[in-house]
Structure 1
Amino acid sequence: MPSLILHTIAWLALSVTLVLAIIVMFASADMADYKQNVGVFYTWSFVCTIIYFAASYWALKRTKKLNQAHTHEFVPPTESTEPVAASRGDHSPGV
């Protein structure tokens, strides 16, 4: 569940950035509006970018950790009885 929340936060941050970019591109009637919209875009797109990367990285680490824990539960440990030299492919007689 926390991974789903992190992914949702990341997607929301990207969506906010996209909406702000669309506002700058299409909702600026004149140069004054454009400058105001660009100022808002610069501030909030920076914040949203940091939020996006933090949430995505956290979700990636969490998912990777959960997958490793899940994999280690079902893989029984195997013990090798071969000597170390044979496992390296070194089959020459000891000299």
Structure 2
Amino acid sequence: MACSSRAVRLQDSISNWDQDLKGIRDLDAVFHDELVILRDHLRRRLEQFALNPSQDDISVVQLALLSDGRQIKELELNHSATRAQKQETYGHGME
């Protein structure tokens, strides 16, 4: 009976560990996914404006596009600046 109980606890521990490992993602993959989301947002905004250009919306669209561009640039700079630190944290998570 004790052996069966240990086996169940061991199986549960392995299952939990497997779930934890699945939650750890490669840093470049996370960066790429976030970048794709921002670029898709930017592309959709441009497409919407191209389909329905309105003179009074130009300044709003320009500000939104500038904001999107800044977010992309900030993401790229942040990824470059903190990559080493994130890589170390990622390495500890994989241990």
Question: Fold-level match, TM-score > 0.5?
Answer: no
TM-score normalised according to structure 1 size: 0.44
More helix by share: 2
Kindly name which structure, 1 or 2, has the bigger radius of gyration based on alpha carbons.
1
